[in-house]
């Protein structure tokens, strides 16, 4: 790059001796006919551009206000804007080669802004950048370097989109090719203009070709996915705080996203900001296992609805533009939202659309109905009698929380009723006793409401959440710990809608913090391939803690998709309770990847993940499938034998 920069500085100096090329000095000798033509072209280009942009702006402004939106605090928004937009950090991090090419195009456009204004102004005698000055001499050469980078990058992106064509890009619009071609022309004409002598036919032709490409480029932006050039910086800055946070309903007449009148300004802004890059599709577990859901199509479906009906329409959102089947295949893993480079928050929209279908009684599903009835009648998602939980507590001699212990151990549905979940609870209890951490369990618990929350049944969530909050307050609960990331998320975040603010953490966080009190194996160690649960990793940003715990007794290896890119187990979003899947089972896809590492043990940190993997190992584990253990079980296995005692 240094060589290019010095070369173009020399080129500028050489052109200076040739009375300066047009792109350096500008077309200062334009005739009145040429000036009139430039003025007419510019006016037409800007008018067409604004006509389309204003229609989008009016659609966004015409949508209802976002009830939960708060601009403060500004600090995190500014930091995110600088990282995601100015530095293009997210784009490059998640897809390095293509991301860097996009970044070069973006930074190149920023560098070209001053040159472009100077280019047009020169036709009217208003040139303000001159190569005779030190800054102008430097800047024209500086921009030339960016022109090369942009030209190479846009050519590479064109080849990738139209020749390589990754499947997650989906249908490629021809307008994208036209836009790429115009950008390439803009760069080439700028570079060629550096070498032509002023007054020559070549430089005149180059100037006009550059000008025509510029005025053709502008109106195409708002008519294509390239509208994100204008909207995405605003979208990134104004996105809702928090990761995949489900916005609260506003009043008794708010049932979620049912019709166009329910679409908020943030929803509309994000829908029009989609760049159609397919990153959400590339990482979606449903899309990658042959299901109908494509998160990109959900966003584009909302955009098409707004284009057709406008804001505030009474037509249903789910139907012609958005598939109900696709909506209810989502595992709410958050991969789409995490990957999106332009700030689109898919899950609030998907759950909002589910709410609109469930809360209004439009969604009919036998498995969903059974789940909601289980929550209503038994207080748990699995449909067991509450007395089964009490029997387990008594048999395991688990202490009852009385506000004197350090932690209230929240069992959750899986820890209370599922046999494998109970084994994890008992292993954790043993580890905590060994470390000298006191704990107790509640006499009564109901489901946190997580599956109903993700499926969109707000009444079912409110019933169990309010009952649990009353129980926890009556027991004087302070700090809480749970084996289930879904419970941690729902209690710690979603219950805030009901006025609760309990301090709860996942058991991996607690065990990592007290790791010095736990044994560490020094002899022969097995390999453990660790699966990052979605609700622990992407939702809570916890990656190192469970690995630190497992690493005390085994050598931890990672599958191909791990940490932020971890592939879902398939249980989230209520999917564990919705019957057979269409296409390949998500848990089977993930288990095949875990088994392929050759590790002797699959390590988990979520009872839902463990249940899903246990089911899939029968089909993908081979003759000698790997062991399947939670990190608490791995640690408990390394403890000395516990003497018989009563809790």
Q: For residue 633, what are the domain limits?
A: 522-637
**Interval 328-343 mean pLDDT:** 96
pLDDT greater than 90 at residue 18: no
pLDDT greater than 60 at residue 8: no
Q: Would you list the DSSP string of 567-592? A: PP-S-TTTGGGS-SPSSS-HHHHHHH
Other Cβ atoms closer than 10 A to 132: 10
- Whether residue 367 lies inside any domain: the answer is no
Query: Residue 189: its pLDDT value, please?
Result: 92
* Domain final position from 236, 260, 282: 236
pLDDT greater than 80 at residue 610: yes
pLDDT greater than 70 at residue 380: yes
Query: Residue 605: its pLDDT value, please?
Result: 97
Query: Residue 583: its pLDDT value, please?
Result: 92
Query: Residue 164: its pLDDT value, please?
Result: 87
In the predicted model, what is the mean pLDDT of the chain? 91
**Residue 5 to residue 559: CA distance in whole angstroms:** 43
pLDDT greater than 80 at residue 2: no
pLDDT greater than 60 at residue 456: yes
- Whether residue 645 lies inside any domain: the answer is no
pLDDT greater than 70 at residue 458: yes
Query: Residue 435: its pLDDT value, please?
Result: 95
* Domain final position from 185, 205, 236: 236
Q: What is the pLDDT of residues 629-642, one digit of tens each?
A: 999 999 999 998 76
Query: Residue 537: its pLDDT value, please?
Result: 97
For residues 269 and 328, membership in a common domain is answered with yes
Q: Would you list the DSSP string of 367-393? A: HHHHHHHHHHHHSSTT---HHHHHHHH
For residues 106 and 155, membership in a common domain is answered with yes
**Residue 111 to residue 16: CA distance in whole angstroms:** 22
Q: Is 244 exposed, middle or buried (0-12, 13-18, 19+ CB in 10 A)?
A: buried
For residues 541 and 613, membership in a common domain is answered with yes
For residues 507 and 528, membership in a common domain is answered with no
Query: Residue 29: its pLDDT value, please?
Result: 63
**Residue 433 to residue 440: CA distance in whole angstroms:** 11
- Whether residue 375 lies inside any domain: the answer is no
For residues 547 and 408, membership in a common domain is answered with no
Query: Residue 252: its pLDDT value, please?
Result: 86
Relative to beta strand 527-530, strand 555-557 is: parallel
Nearest to 432 by CA among 408, 448, 415: 408
Other Cβ atoms closer than 10 A to 229: 17
Q: Please give the distance of CA 349 from its chain centroid, rounded to a whole number.
A: 12
More confident residue, 16 or 50: 50
**Interval 96-107 mean pLDDT:** 93
**Residue 452 to residue 203: CA distance in whole angstroms:** 67
- Whether residue 372 lies inside any domain: the answer is no
pLDDT greater than 50 at residue 361: yes
For residues 527 and 495, membership in a common domain is answered with no
Query: Residue 34: its pLDDT value, please?
Result: 82
For residues 582 and 507, membership in a common domain is answered with no
Alpha helices in 66-194 (DSSP H): 74-81, 89-94, 96-123, 134-159, 174-193
For residues 109 and 221, membership in a common domain is answered with yes
How does residue 194 score in pLDDT terms, banded at 50, 70 and 90? confident
Q: What is the pLDDT of residues 288-302, one digit of tens each?
A: 999 999 999 999 999
CATH number at 628 reads 3.40.50
Whole-prediction pTM value?
Answer: 0.90
Query: Residue 198: its pLDDT value, please?
Result: 65
How does residue 464 score in pLDDT terms, banded at 50, 70 and 90? very high
Q: What is the pLDDT of residues 471-517, one digit of tens each?
A: 999 999 999 999 999 999 999 999 999 999 999 999 999 999 999 99
Percent of the chain scoring above 70 in pLDDT: 94
Q: Is 251 exposed, middle or buried (0-12, 13-18, 19+ CB in 10 A)?
A: exposed
Q: Rg of the chain's alpha carbons, rounded to an integer?
A: 30
Nearest to 353 by CA among 434, 455, 257, 427: 257
How does residue 351 score in pLDDT terms, banded at 50, 70 and 90? very high
Q: Would you list the DSSP string of 389-426? A: HHHHHHHHTPPBP-S-SSEEEE-HHHHHH-HHHHHHHH
Nearest to 149 by CA among 342, 278, 3: 3
How does residue 647 score in pLDDT terms, banded at 50, 70 and 90? very low
CATH number at 299 reads 1.10.1060
For residues 347 and 302, membership in a common domain is answered with yes
* Domain final position from 212, 236, 260: 236
For residues 386 and 351, membership in a common domain is answered with no
Q: What is the pLDDT of residues 130-179, one digit of tens each?
A: 777 788 888 988 999 999 999 999 999 999 988 888 887 878 788 888 99
For residues 178 and 302, membership in a common domain is answered with no
How does residue 112 score in pLDDT terms, banded at 50, 70 and 90? very high
For residues 85 and 214, membership in a common domain is answered with yes
CATH number at 40 reads 1.20.950
- Whether residue 405 lies inside any domain: the answer is yes
Query: Residue 205: its pLDDT value, please?
Result: 87
pLDDT greater than 50 at residue 582: yes
Q: How many residues are given for the chain? A: 647
Domains held by the chain: number: 4
**Interval 363-386 mean pLDDT:** 96
Query: Residue 197: its pLDDT value, please?
Result: 67
Cα 118-123-124 angle, rounded to 5 deg: 95
**Interval 597-612 mean pLDDT:** 96
**Interval 260-266 mean pLDDT:** 96
Classified as helix, coil or strand, 277 is coil
- Whether residue 340 lies inside any domain: the answer is yes
- Whether residue 190 lies inside any domain: the answer is yes
Q: What is the pLDDT of residues 38-89, one digit of tens each?
A: 999 999 999 999 999 999 999 999 999 998 888 989 999 999 999 999 999 9
**Residue 11 to residue 141: CA distance in whole angstroms:** 8
- Whether residue 376 lies inside any domain: the answer is no
How does residue 427 score in pLDDT terms, banded at 50, 70 and 90? very high
* Contact between residue 354 and residue 372 where contact means Cβ atoms under 8 Å apart: no
């Amino acid at each position: 790059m240094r060589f290019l920069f010095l070369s173009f500085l020399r080129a500028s100096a050489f052109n200076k001796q040739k009375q300066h090329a047009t792109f350096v000095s500008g077309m200062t000798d334009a005739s009145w006919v040429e000036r009139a033509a430039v003025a007419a072209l510019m006016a037409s280009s800007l008018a067409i551009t604004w006509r389309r942009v204003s229609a989008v702006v009016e659609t966004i402004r015409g949508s209802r206000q976002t009830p939960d939106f708060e601009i403060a605090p500004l600090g995190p928004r500014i930091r995110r804007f600088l990282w995601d937009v100015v530095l293009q950090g997210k784009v490059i991090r998640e897809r390095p080669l293509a991301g860097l090419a996009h970044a070069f195009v973006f930074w190149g456009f920023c560098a070209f802004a001053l040159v472009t204004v100077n280019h047009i102004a020169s036709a009217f005698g208003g040139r303000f950048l001159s190569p005779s000055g030190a800054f102008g001499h430097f800047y024209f050469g500086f921009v030339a370097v960016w022109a090369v980078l942009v030209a190479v990058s846009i050519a590479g992106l064109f080849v990738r989109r139209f020749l390589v064509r990754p499947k997650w890009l989906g249908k490629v619009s021809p307008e994208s090719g036209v836009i790429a071609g115009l950008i390439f022309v803009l760069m080439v004409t700028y570079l060629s203009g550096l070498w032509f002598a002023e007054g020559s036919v070549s430089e005149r032709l180059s100037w006009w070709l550059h000008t025509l490409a510029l005025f053709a480029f502008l109106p195409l932006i708002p008519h294509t996915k390239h509208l994100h050039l204008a909207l995405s910086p605003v979208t990134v800055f104004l996105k809702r705080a928090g990761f995949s946070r489900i916005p609260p309903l506003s009043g008794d007449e708010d049932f979620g996203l049912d019709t166009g009148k329910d679409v908020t300004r943030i929803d509309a802004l994000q829908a029009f900001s989609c760049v159609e890059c397919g990153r959400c599709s590339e990482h979606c577990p449903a899309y990658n296992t042959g299901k109908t859901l494509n998160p990109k199509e959900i966003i584009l479906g909302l955009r098409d609805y707004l284009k057709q009906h406008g804001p505030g329409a009474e037509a249903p959102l789910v139907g012609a533009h958005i598939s109900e089947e696709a909506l209810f295949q989502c595992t709410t893993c958050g991969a789409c939202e995490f990957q999106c480079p332009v700030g689109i928050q898919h899950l609030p929209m998907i759950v909002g659309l589910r709410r609109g279908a469930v809360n209004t009684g439009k969604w009919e599903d036998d498995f969903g109905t059974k789940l909601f009835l289980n929550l209503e009648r038994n207080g748990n998602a699995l449909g067991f009698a509450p007395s089964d939980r009490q029997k387990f507590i008594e048999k395991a001699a688990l202490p009852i929380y009385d506000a004197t212990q350090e932690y209230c151990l929240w069992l959750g549905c899986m820890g209370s009723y599922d046999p494998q979940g109970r084994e994890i609870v008992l292993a954790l209890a043993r580890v905590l006793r060994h470390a000298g951490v006191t704990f107790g369990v509640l006499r009564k618990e109901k489901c946190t409401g997580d599956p109903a929350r993700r499926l969109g049944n707000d009444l079912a969530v409110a019933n169990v959440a309010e009952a649990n909050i009353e129980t926890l307050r009556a027991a004087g609960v302070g700090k809480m710990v749970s084996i289930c990331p879904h419970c941690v998320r729902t209690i710690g975040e979603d219950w805030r809608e009901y006025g609760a603010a309990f301090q709860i953490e996942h058991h991996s966080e607690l065990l990592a913090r007290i790791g010095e009190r736990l044994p560490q194996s020094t002899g022969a160690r097995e390999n453990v391939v660790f699966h990052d649960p979605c609700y622990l990793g992407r939702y809570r940003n916890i990656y190192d803690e469970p690995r630190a715990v497992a690493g005390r007794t085994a050598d931890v290896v990672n599958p191909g998709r791990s940490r932020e890119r971890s592939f879902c187990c398939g249980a989230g979003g209520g999917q564990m309770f919705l019957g057979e899947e269409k296409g390949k089972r998500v848990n089977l896809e993930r288990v095949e990847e875990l088994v392929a590492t050759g590790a002797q043990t699959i390590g988990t940190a979520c009872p839902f993940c463990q249940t899903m993997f246990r089911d899939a190992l029968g089909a993908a584990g081979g003759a000698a499938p790997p062991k399947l253990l939670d990190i608490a079980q791995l640690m408990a296995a390394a403890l000395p034998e516990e003497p018989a005692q009563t809790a």
